[in-house]
C-alpha cells in the first residue's frame, strides 16, 4: 500500500486512527477517553519532525500500510493536521471551504489563499496550509478526503490531478473537472 494506486483504504484507515485518537461524544454527551495527550502534542507540533516523534504518528504510518521511510514525513503532516479536527464532516474539504463561481465572498478560503494552497509543495508548506484550512472550517472536516488530499497533494504522478480536482470542487464545479479518473485515483 505504498504507491499512488494503492491508496483506496487511506481515507478509511485515517478515519479509524482519528476516531481512536479523538474523544468522540457518545449519545449521552459524555466523552470516551481517546488519547488526548497525543492529540495535544500533535496539535503543538511545529514541524513534521516533531509530529513524527509521536508514537501515534508511527501507528498511523503502519495503519496506512506505508512501507518506505521516505513517506513518513507526509504521514506525520497528516497526523498533525488530523489532530486539529474535532468533528468528521461528510462534505468534501474543497467544497466546504469554497463557493460557487461569482460568489467568491461566500468562500471560507478566499481565492488568493486557494492559489497559495494549490501551489504548496513540500511537507512544511502543506502542514501550514491544511492546518489553516481546519481552523477556517472550525475544526470540522471530512477525514477521508483530507487524508487523501494531504497524502498525495504533491505526488509526482497524481498530485496535479488531486489539486485540479480540489480547485474544481472549491468552485462547486467538480462535475466539470476534465479528468473524471481523478476521483478513482484518489479514492
| Lookup: cell for 40 | 495535544
pLDDT in tens, the chain (187 residues): 344 444 458 999 999 999 999 875 666 655 556 788 999 999 999 999 999 999 999 999 999 997 778 899 999 999 999 999 999 998 999 999 998 888 888 899 999 999 999 999 999 999 999 999 999 999 999 999 999 999 999 999 999 999 999 999 999 887 776 764 444 444 4
CATH number of the CATH domain containing 54: 1.10.520.40
Per-residue pLDDT at 11: 94
Per-residue pLDDT at 34: 79
Per-residue pLDDT at 180: 47
Per-residue pLDDT at 146: 97
User: With left for phi above 0 and alpha for psi between -120 and 50, is residue 121 left, alpha or beta?
Assistant: beta
Per-residue pLDDT at 102: 81
Q: What is the rounded CA–CA span in Å between residue 77 and residue 34?
A: 20
Per-residue pLDDT at 112: 93
Q: Which structural domain range is residue 48 located in?
A: 4-186
Look at the chain and report how many structural domains it folds into: 1
- Cβ atoms of 146 and 91 within 8 Å: the answer is no
Q: What is the rounded CA–CA span in Å between residue 135 and residue 128?
A: 11
Q: What is the rounded CA–CA span in Å between residue 150 and residue 158?
A: 12
What pTM value is reported for the model? 0.86
Nearest to 129 by CA among 118, 145, 142, 144: 118
Per-residue pLDDT at 24: 56
- Cβ atoms of 49 and 76 within 8 Å: the answer is yes
Per-residue pLDDT at 2: 42
Amino acid at each position: 500500500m505504498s504507491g499512488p494506486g494503492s491508496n483506496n483504504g487511506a481515507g478509511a484507515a485515517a478515519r479509524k486512527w482519528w476516531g481512536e485518537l479523538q474523544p468522540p461524544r457518545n449519545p449521552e454527551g459524555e466523552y470516551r477517553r481517546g488519547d488526548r495527550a497525543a492529540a495535544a502534542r500533535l496539535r503543538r507540533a511545529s514541524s513534521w519532525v516533531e509530529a513524527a516523534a509521536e508514537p501515534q504518528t508511527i501507528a498511523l504510518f503502519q495503519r496506512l500500510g506505508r512501507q518506505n521511510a521516505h513517506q513518513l514525513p507526509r504521514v506525520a503532516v497528516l497526523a498533525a493536521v488530523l489532530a486539529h479536527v474535532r468533528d468528521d464532516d461528510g462534505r468534501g474539504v474543497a467544497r466546504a471551504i469554497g463557493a460557487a463561481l461569482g460568489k467568491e465572498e461566500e468562500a471560507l478560503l478566499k481565492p488568493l489563499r486557494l492559489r497559495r494552497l494549490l501551489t504548496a509543495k513540500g511537507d512544511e508548506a502543506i502542514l501550514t496550509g491544511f492546518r489553516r484550512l481546519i481552523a477556517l472550517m472550525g475544526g470540522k472536516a471530512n477525514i477521508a478526503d483530507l487524508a487523501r488530499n494531504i497524502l498525495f497533494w504533491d505526488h509526482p504522478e497524481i498530485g496535479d490531478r488531486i489539486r485540479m480536482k480540489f480547485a474544481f470542487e472549491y468552485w462547486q464545479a467538480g462535475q466539470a473537472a476534465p479528468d473524471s479518473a481523478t476521483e478513482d485515483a484518489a479514492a
